[in-house]
Structure 1
Amino acid sequence: MSSLTSAARLASPLMLWADVALKTQEMLLSSGSVIHMRTERMVKAGLTPSPADLAEFQLMGDEKLAAAGEAGAAMARQWHSSHVSLTSRVLQQWLLSAGAFLSMAGSITPAQAAVRGDAFVKATTRAVSTTGQLSGTAVRIAREGLKPIHAAATSNARRLAELRA
């Protein structure tokens, strides 16, 4: 798939949510595999784990903390760069729409009501359009948060599978 096709596919919020769902499924499957292999290793190690076992058990905790920290930081960066300004624009658009509605409601003549009604429809359309962008922003935040956790889970699954072989 070309990068242009991939970029176009990920421009749609629906496709972004589908991508998050697929990445989440892959991460969950990898996590299940990692949990199985590590639990098996803990059982085999019993009360006398080897230095390699201890190192793996320590790595397990360190990786979780690192991935959680990276995920939180990535989500905060994405939130700050897009969601805050968009939320402000949504609120502004809805307030403009409410003002247009009140103006329309205060019309005295039919001609005035028609002009103000048109302004209300346009303001509401802009408000709805801007609000529709929130889903795209929210999914980008979710994607950024999922990336480090997905990367850790899938790389661990591959690494541990190679160690078992």
Structure 2
Amino acid sequence: MAQPDAGSISIVVAIVAGLCSLLGAFIGAWVSRTSERIRWLRENQSEVFANFLEKLQTAAQSSFRIRIEHAEKGTDNAFDLIDAFADAKRYERIVRLYLRESHRQEFSDLVDRYWKCSASGGKHEPEKPDAKSTLNRIQQIFEAELRG
């Protein structure tokens, strides 16, 4: 059996080195793209979650003001309270797009509970969490999503 000459070995080494370089470039590009996508998603999640919390806080403040104004006038406040939370309820759908499926229904239930607590002036059934603990749970869901 003939021994391979130095020229043949050099060619094989060059081909293997070239293939390894291409493979390394593809793996590097894939890792870079994946990490860039994760960073982009986290930034968007942060922005969407912060906007939602702001809308929810604005709605709660509006509902407090509405309850006081209507109590002074002795008028029904139901439509105004619904309107105060309309923006937050619309934005809830956007937030759900950024949540894992396991958190989506709980999140929507918490938003509804928060609305009911805020609309009722904080009056709630003793076995139900109040607005503050409901808002804290929403915050915990957002933090868990951002941690991955």
TM-based fold match above 0.5: no
- Normalising TM by the smaller chain, what interval? 0.3 to 0.5
* TM-score of the pair, normalised by structure 2: 0.42
Bigger Rg over Cα: 2
